[in-house]
């Protein structure tokens, strides 16, 4: 196995089990290493620090698969995947759902690999070149361990372009239906694995949907960026007196209409096709429970400044228009926006609007999207519950 050698003093992060090695930490590499190849990582005296896959085309040049002298063979990969699954299967937090994330990349010490479970069907995402090259080894392990009816690939993350690989999607095993109905804490959701956002559904908002359900009784709910209506259905099931769902996508609104009918058809519901930014500028807000979960406005550090302006604009409109006593559940799914920054943007918007408010809850990603304790960068989902006076 070929090796990459780190500069003197740059091994500290690996010794502390951080899974990323940046290109600036590398002193030299063996000849003829191909991008995506598994290599050993050594200090300048030749001691092995661990194993990972290498890509000279990216700032994160190495993603660690193992530490010390443990070679990441198929038995090791099986152990990692089995352990990740066991944590989900034994979790009391996931007893009332048949849809969850089985493997969460660095969060489960398998960088670049996402595996989501929708009933008896799996969806795989390979985020990196190194994991893409490992796919042929991973697939038999998933089939053997979980005996799924099908496995579908949704490797469409824009980060693959940085890795030097194109997007990929398609059937890997069995036959995936055009639609699968999943169940979550008494609610049912139709999921289109092949065409839906992410791998078909926002699994990471499960806990926040339950929060909305617990708070919606007798409130009028405005669900902005509603997508397929997960929060809308939760609000309806929680006893909301009316739910207004806004999204720019006609297909999303059609799906949201179905979801509401499946779960709470008696709840008065309105569906509005509009750009949310324009909708907030042009309309009053009569709802006293606003939910705002936009797509990632910051997809890179370069886009962070524009994203901050967008977040502030959204919150300024809500702060300026909503009734006293309103609740706001606001979310950011960008890892480039920290909770501290997100809270600051919300504060600035309310300050500019001259509106008093209090944060009464802070939330992150659920148990099936774990944050690697050695890699805080795996924390990405932030949510604030705000009581507006």
Q: Is residue 248 pLDDT above 80, yes or no? A: yes
**Residue-level pLDDT at 298:** 76
**Residue-level pLDDT at 140:** 98
Cβ burial, residue 295 (10 Å; 0-12/13-18/19+): exposed
pLDDT-derived band at 297, boundaries 50, 70, 90? confident
Topology of domain 202-388, CATH: Rossmann fold (3.40.50)
Task: For residue 100, give Cα distances in angstroms to 87, 96, 199, 262, 324.
Answer: 12, 11, 11, 21, 37
Residues of the chain with CATH 3.30.750.80: 74-181
Residue that is written with structure tokens 């008896």 in the block: 120
The C-alpha atoms of residue 194 and residue 148 are separated, in whole angstroms, by 16
Q: What homologous superfamily does CATH list for 3-67?
A: PUA domain (2.30.130.10)
Angle at 388 between CA 383 and CA 389, to 5 degrees: 160
Over residues 176-217, the pLDDT tens digits come to 999 999 999 999 999 999 998 889 999 999 999 999 999 999
pLDDT-derived band at 300, boundaries 50, 70, 90? confident
pLDDT-derived band at 301, boundaries 50, 70, 90? confident
Average confidence score pLDDT of the chain: 96
**Residue-level pLDDT at 160:** 93
Q: Is residue 299 pLDDT above 80, yes or no? A: no
Share of the chain above pLDDT 70, in %: 100
Task: For residue 2, give Cα distances in angstroms to 9, 68, 333, 343.
Answer: 21, 16, 37, 46
Extract the tokens encoding 3: 């090796």
Strand (E) positions, the chain?
Answer: 3-6, 20-22, 26-29, 38-42, 48-54, 60-67, 99-104, 113-118, 121-126, 150-155, 168-174, 180-184, 187-191, 220-224, 242-247, 269-273, 289-292, 326-332, 357-363, 382-388
**Residue-level pLDDT at 266:** 97
Mean pLDDT (whole number) for 87-107: 97
The CATH number that domain 74-181 falls under is 3.30.750.80
Mean pLDDT (whole number) for 343-363: 97
Over residues 156-173, the pLDDT tens digits come to 988 899 999 999 999 999
Residues of the chain with CATH 2.30.130.10: 3-67
């Amino acid at each position: 196995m070929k090796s990459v050698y780190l500069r003197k003093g740059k091994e500290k992060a690996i010794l502390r089990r951080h899974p990323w090695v940046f290109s600036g930490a590398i002193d030299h590499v063996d000849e003829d290493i191909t991008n995506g190849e598994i290599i050993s990582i050594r200090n300048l005296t030749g001691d092995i620090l661990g194993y990972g896959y290498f890509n000279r085309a990216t700032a994160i040049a190495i993603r660690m698969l193992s530490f010390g002298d443990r070679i990441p063979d198929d038995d090791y990969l099986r152990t990692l995947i089995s352990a990740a699954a066991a944590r989900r299967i034994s979790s009391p937090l996931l007893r009332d759902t048949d849809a969850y994330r089985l493997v969460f990349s660095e969060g489960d010490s398998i960088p670049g690999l996402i595996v989501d479970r929708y009933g008896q069907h799996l969806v795989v995402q390979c985020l990196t070149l190194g994991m893409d090259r490992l796919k042929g080894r991973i697939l038999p392990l998933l089939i053997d361990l979980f005996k799924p009816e099908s496995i579908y690939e949704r490797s469409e993350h824009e980060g693959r372009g940085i890795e030097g690989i194109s997007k990929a999607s398609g059937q890997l095993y069995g036959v995936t239906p055009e639609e699968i109905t999943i169940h979550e804490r008494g609610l049912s959701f139709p999921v289109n694995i092949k065409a839906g956002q992410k791998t078909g559904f926002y699994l990471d908002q499960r806990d926040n949907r339950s929060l909305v359900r617990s708070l919606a009784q007798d409130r009028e709910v405005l669900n902005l960026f509603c997508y397929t209506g997960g929060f809308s259905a939760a609000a309806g099931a929680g006893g909301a007196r009316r739910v207004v769902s806004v999204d720019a996508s006609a297909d999303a609104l059609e799906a949201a209409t179905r979801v509401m009918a499946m779960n709470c058809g008696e709840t008065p519901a309105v569906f509005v096709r509009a750009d949310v930014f324009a909708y907030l500028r042009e309309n009053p807000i009569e709802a006293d429970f606003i939910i705002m979960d936009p797509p990632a406005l910051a997809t890179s550090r370069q886009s962070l400044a524009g994203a901050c302006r967008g977040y502030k604009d959204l919150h300024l409109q809500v702060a300026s228009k909503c009734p006293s006593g309103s609740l706001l559940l606001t979310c950011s799914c960008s890892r480039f926006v920290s909770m501290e920054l997100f809270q600051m943007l919300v504060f600035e918007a309310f300050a500019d609007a001259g509106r008093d408010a209090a944060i009464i809850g802070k939330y992150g990603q659920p148990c099936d999207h774990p944050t690697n304790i050695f890699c805080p960068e795996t924390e990405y989902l932030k949510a604030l519950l705000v009581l507006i006076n």
